[in-house]
Amino acid sequence: MPNLTRREALMATGAASLGLMVPQAGGRVSGRMGTASRVDSQTGLVQSVARWCFSGIPLEPFCAAVADMGLTAMDLLTVDEWSVAHDHGLTVSCGDVAAGSIEDGLNEPDNHATIIGAFEQHIPRAAREGVPNVICFFGNRRGMSHAEGIANSIRCLRECAPIAEAEGVTILVEVLNSKAGGHLDYIGDHMDYALEVMRAVDSPRVRILYDIYHMQIMEGDIIRTLTDAREWIGHYHTGGVPGRAEIDGTQELHYPAIVRAIRDTDFSGYMAHEFIPRGGDPLRSLAQAVELCAAA
């Protein structure tokens, strides 16, 4: 999630070679630009992009550029932005419905009414508009113990889960790093914490948003972790380490192997690129990341 400077640029590149898949209403997947890429044809894994990383580009031109590139989905759009994405043929792969915030999340009981109210108001709309996922957060620690934070998160999500289940929309709770350059007081900074909450809530419509960038910083062991936790992961975010830059050969994560590992879990959902482009042409960086993962 956002805590860095946004970038801008434009690009029109020959992206027909990316061959991505589009999730349609009711979960049907169909080809958008020719032959499906190997990763998508085997699992239904669909690549997306986090809007905030490119917020220097106005939303409409960005949607047009993303669609022209061959991507079919966009992450972390607010409710009033959903229609803009839809007008360009894009699915909102994860909606931001203001169900708390990174700092004020599930661990604090004072936030529960706000979180539940946001889901009550917006999950039915998400279902009507084909938004499959909505996001929330574990919140800042502020001296709270893990045990208390976990118990409070379970309590809130058990109230939220029936709302999501009734509408067929998934609530995603994101794990984030709490080291330097991250969200320093975030309580949900390890998978063990998130998994304890997920198992207790035990709803098919409450899942972990596994941010590969953040979890590489906190605990590494990415492939084993996502493999072992396959049942509880509902969404992925990418990003290069160090620096949350492009997911290329300059950083320590090897994304082709990670994508193959995700594919091997039979994951059928979205992987949104959430890196900060450092080169002179951010949308070219995005296209290269999409092609890298599609070819894995």
Check whether 105 has a pLDDT greater than 80.
yes
The pLDDT assigned to 176 comes to 98
- Tell me the average pLDDT across 136-148: 98
Quote the CA–CA distance of 83 and 222 in Å, as a whole number.
Answer: 35
Confidence label for 41 from pLDDT (cuts 50, 70 and 90): very low
The structural domains of the chain, ordered by start, are: 31-294 (3.20.20.150)
pLDDT bin (cut points 50, 70, 90) of residue 132 is very high
More confident residue, 236 or 9: 236
pLDDT at 280: 82
What does the mean pLDDT of the chain come to?
A: 87
Return the structure tokens found at 22.
């589009």
Residue 132 CB partners (closer than 8 Å, separation 6+): 23, 91, 93, 94, 126, 169, 170, 269, 270
For residue 137, give the DSSP letter: E
259-279 per-position pLDDT tens digit: 999 999 999 999 999 999 987
Q: Tell me the per-residue pLDDT of 114-127, one tens digit each, with 9 for 90 and over.
A: 999 999 999 999 99
Q: What is the pLDDT of residues 210-228, one digit of tens each?
A: 999 999 999 999 999 999 9
Q: Is the pLDDT of residue 238 over 60?
A: yes
Q: Give helix 282-294 / helix 255-264 axis angle, nearest 10°.
A: 50
Place of tokens 């082709």: 256
In this predicted structure, the answer to whether residue 13 has a pLDDT above a threshold of 70 is no
Inter-CA distances, 156 with 66, 128, 175, 176, 196, Å: 36, 24, 17, 19, 14
The whole-number pLDDT of residue 181 equals 76
The confidence score (pLDDT) of residue 254 equals: 96
pLDDT digits 0-9 by tens, 49-85: 999 999 989 999 999 999 999 999 999 999 999 999 9
The confidence band for 18, taking pLDDT boundaries of 50, 70 and 90, is very low
Q: What whole-number distance in Å separates Cα of residue 199 and Cα of residue 176?
A: 19
The sign one gets for the Cα dihedral 146, 153, 133, 60 is negative
pTM of the model: 0.87
Residue with tokens 């590992």: 261
Q: According to the model, what pLDDT value does residue 95 have? A: 98
Which is higher by pLDDT, 67 or 38?
A: 67
For the chain, give the percent of residues with pLDDT over 90. Answer: 81
CB 116 within 8 A of CB 154: no
pLDDT tops 70 at residue 27: no
Tokens of 231: 């049942």
